[in-house]
Amino acid sequence: MANNWSLSSSLKGRDCPSVDYDAVWFLATLLVTFATIILCWLWNSTEKKERVSGLPPGDMGLPFFGDTIQYVNAYYNMSVKNYVNKKIARYGSPVFKAKLMGQMTVFMDAPEGSKLMFMRGNDEKLIQGYWPKSTLKLVGSNVLSSQNGAAYRCHKRHMLTHFLGHNVVPRYLARIEKRSVEYIQRYWLDGTIDGSVLETQNLLMIHTFRLIADLCLTLTDTTESEKLRPTFDVWEKGLMALPINLPGTDYHQSLKARAEILDYFDTYVQRRKQELKDGTASPTQDYLSVMLTEPDDTGHFYTDEEIETNILHLIHGGANTVSSTLTMVIRLIAEHPEVYDQLVAEHTAIMERKGDSQALTIEDVRSMKYSWMVLQETLRVYPSLPGIFREATTTFDYNGYTIPKGWKLLCTAAQSFQNPELVEEPERFDPSRFERGSFPPHVFFPFGGGVRLCPGYELAKVIMLVFLHHFLKNLHWTLTDPDEKVVYHFSPGTVKGSPIRITRVKAF
């Protein structure tokens, strides 16, 4: 029997206003057609504006979306290298253009392109840091990574001088070690037996979130930090969401979560001001105290809002990148027993030199040469920053192409430290490659480079080395699913949380 159902026939006989449904459908079709014409006109007008002679090869991709869907899919599935190689093969050039997230973007080659992006003389003169406007609303325009020029340099000097610098991080070593030992005891040793299976990814996020929050705020109450984490999760979702500020959207919820987090931090700021006045808090006990007591080079004291947004950014950046790198290094060590053996040998030698003294010194940490090579190789294989963006501040020529002012530049790991033309056997996990010093300049940049090198580099390094020392000391482990898929959100992770089967040991 033929199906003669229609919206108009289904409503016949019901008590409802008389509606000409054919007219409704006609008007709806007309509106959609009109909207499509307008959007196509906007697309074409944008395309015309960008018809500059000498541009890198490439195309605009899909209407409205450009190449965003393909790139994000490649990013999530760790296949940016395939994406890039297909483009290079298609255009015959390692420098090409694509439209990503509404922005015309030039993929830069390596090492020449990364050299251009990281050379000190080019910062501000040719390029600057870049965040989309929608992201700026979430992270704040006064956080370090959102700033450029003199404001960026002044802010970064303040952070390095008083909190994150090579000579300042040792101040926090004892606290980092204490929290690491307590965490491993509580989550990995207490209540477990040989053969217990634990989910690495989430447990490491708990540790790094609490530790960075402690270093920023002296937030030692684990109940408080666990209350804060879900709100952070909501906020972080907005960083990867469509920037639609309507109730129910991830972006809208993220903005609300940001306000809640800053309100929470504000209670700490006001309390700390009183504690500093009373002498019950130290001016150097954490990032909050430093920001309240130390002016920048110009004599400016940071406002409450500036302090709170920077704490938000520090906790997010530190907790995510450190936990993801530790998750990946634990997987890679399990896959390479010879690396595990060499690590244990290095840490055994350190403890033998120390004698009865158990607490690590900064000299001990800096003597963990092989451990640092293992972490660097982990960052090469699974970079926490698969790509680094910049914005052209002026129109300039590069490698025979014109890069217009306002266009974005992107340097990817796929074109640099995962490129077989620059790195020997890039698919192989080989920490010893760092001992050989086999990288040309401007090829390996896991923490960025140049003027905008991540200021948290030294702190992240110390946190990871201290954790690895105590993890190796107490545990041996195997992967329950060696073939578990690795994917990217903000940074690398696995689809099942990277579970491992542990054996309790006393390795040294």
Mapped onto helix, strand or coil, the DSSP state of residue 96 is: strand
Q: Is the pLDDT of residue 99 over 60?
A: yes
Please check whether residue 419 lies inside any domain of the structure: yes
Terminal Cα-to-Cα distance of the chain (whole angstroms): 80
Pull the structure tokens for residue 342.
Answer: 């060499």
- Report yes or no on 394 lying in a domain: yes
> CA triplet 37, 41, 42: central angle to 5 degrees?
120
Q: What separation in angstroms does the CA of 148 have from each of 118, 123, 191?
A: 14, 9, 49
- Domain annotation covers residue 436: yes
- Asked if the structure places residue 278 within a domain, the reply is no
pTM: 0.89
User: Who contacts 202 (Cβ-Cβ below 8 Å, separation ≥6)?
Assistant: 497
Angle at 104 between CA 44 and CA 57, to 5 degrees: 90
Amino acid 51: pLDDT: 62
Contacts of 269 (CB under 8 A, 6+ apart): 288, 292, 304, 307, 308
Residue 42 has pLDDT above 70, yes or no: no
Assigned domain for 391 exists:
yes
Would you say residue 283 has pLDDT above 60?
yes
In this prediction, residue 504 has a pLDDT band, given cuts at 50, 70 and 90, of very high
Place of tokens 């960052």: 379
Tell me the three state secondary structure of residue 197: strand
Q: What is the CATH number of the domain that holds 128?
A: 3.30.43.20
- pLDDT digit string (tens) for 366-419? 999 999 999 999 999 999 988 999 999 999 999 999 999 999 999 999 899 999
Question: Counting beta carbons within 10 angstroms of the beta carbon of residue 500, is it exposed (0 to 12), middle (13 to 18) or buried (19 or more)?
Answer: buried
Structural domain of 115: 54-139+386-444
Quick check: is 262 in a domain?
no
Tell whether residue 454 is among the known ligand binding residues: yes
480-492 pLDDT tens trace: 999 999 999 889 9
- Whether 70 maps to a domain, the answer reads yes
Domain contains 437: yes
Cα separation values, 79 from 84, 411, 418, 448, Å: 9, 15, 11, 21
Helix (H) or strand (E) holding 378: helix 369-381
When pLDDT is averaged across residues 235-249 and rounded to a whole number, the result is 93
Element holding 225 (H helix, E strand): helix 222-239
- Our count of domains for the chain comes to 1
pLDDT bin (cut points 50, 70, 90) of residue 192 is very high
To the nearest 10 degrees (0 to 180), the angle between helices 369-381 and 457-474 is 110
Query: What integer pLDDT is reported at residue 451 of this predicted model?
Result: 93
Per DSSP, 507 falls in state: -
State the CB neighbour count (10 A cutoff) for residue 270.
11
